Amino acid sequence: MGDLSRVNTNVAALRAFLTLNTINSDILRFQRQISTGKVINQASDSPSGYFAAKAMTRDIQIKDKAILQIERGVNFLQNNSTKLNTIADILIEIVGIASAANSGAVSSAERSAMQADINGLIAEVNALLQSGISSNLYLGFSVGGLSNVAVSGSGTSAGTRGVTTTATLTINANNLMVTGYVAGTQVLNAQTAITNATNALTSILKENEQVGSYVRRLQFELSDANSTVVDLKASLATLQDADIAEVQLNLTKAQILQQTALAMLAQANTAPQSILVLFGG
């Protein structure tokens, strides 16, 4: 009768119980995979896969932070570009006023009004430089793989190395004066004012051009970083994402085996009772 005659240790029941435990563990694993959508939820699921998945997750996190910094850098530069563009518009207005003043037909009172207008515009340029042209631009900062975003410009450029006044532009009430005369008719300083304002405008346009160049570079880097993140996520998905349909099939099979294992365990538990016939039971 073999194992059936050994009542003290029911080997068949123990084997059925071991099989049932294994099936129960598989069911728990499949249920976890369906609930999380991942085949790797802990290191024991796949030690090497777990390590690779965490490494990819780290790389994605790093790239996501780099993208955030690049976007902040683009916004920062574009803010400065907007300020520089506004300053350029003001300087064009100043050139127009100075050109109008460069005429013997303009009265002294009119020139005084024009000078007051120019002085107000100079004050506005100064306010824009102080509020919008940040010195951080010109000290250099790092975003993503772009090591140094510094708009250094030429030695006479305005507001682009932390300069926050109109001094470097050489525009003030004296340098943009349109109220002087020669022989009582010709404006003495109007042409000089035109030249000074034009030179300041050229400096601002060059600086804005360079800021635009950095924005363009950052936008290329942003596009590359976004593409890299997509590729990393695709690799991570291949490694750890569960095929829900396949896992559901495995779960269904395991649940059926669980029922059959329970039935076999019940039979194995009752099988030794057949030995009672030897006692006339």
Residues 6+ apart with CB under 8 A from 47: none
Rounded distance, CA 35 to CA 242, Å?
10
- Reduced to 3 states (helix: H, G, I; strand: E, B; else coil), residue 186 is strand
Give yes or no for residue 130 having a pLDDT over 80: no
One-letter amino acid of 167: A
What is the sign of the dihedral through the CA atoms of 102, 104, 106 and 111? positive
Please report the pLDDT score of residue 164 as a whole number.
Answer: 45
10 Å CB burial of residue 42 (0-12, 13-18, 19+) is exposed
Please report the pLDDT score of residue 272 as a whole number.
Answer: 74
Residues 6+ apart with CB under 8 A from 86: 128
Confidence of residue 133 (pLDDT cuts 50, 70, 90): low
Residues 48-74: tens digit of each pLDDT = 999 999 999 999 999 999 999 888 888
The mean pLDDT value for 100-118 works out to: 84
- Reduced to 3 states (helix: H, G, I; strand: E, B; else coil), residue 256 is helix
Please report the pLDDT score of residue 5 as a whole number.
Answer: 63
β-bridge pairing 186-187 and 181-182? antiparallel
Residues 6+ apart with CB under 8 A from 251: 27, 30, 31, 34
Distances from the Cα of 92 to the Cα of 176, 178, 196, 238, 256, angstroms: 13, 16, 12, 58, 83
Give yes or no for residue 139 having a pLDDT over 60: no
Please report the pLDDT score of residue 161 as a whole number.
Answer: 37
Residues 167-195: tens digit of each pLDDT = 667 787 788 888 865 444 445 678 888 88
Domain at 74-233: CATH architecture? Up-down Bundle (1.20)
Ranges of H-type helices in the chain: 11-36, 47-101, 108-132, 136-139, 190-240, 244-270
Are the beta carbons of 95 and 197 closer than 8 angstroms?
yes
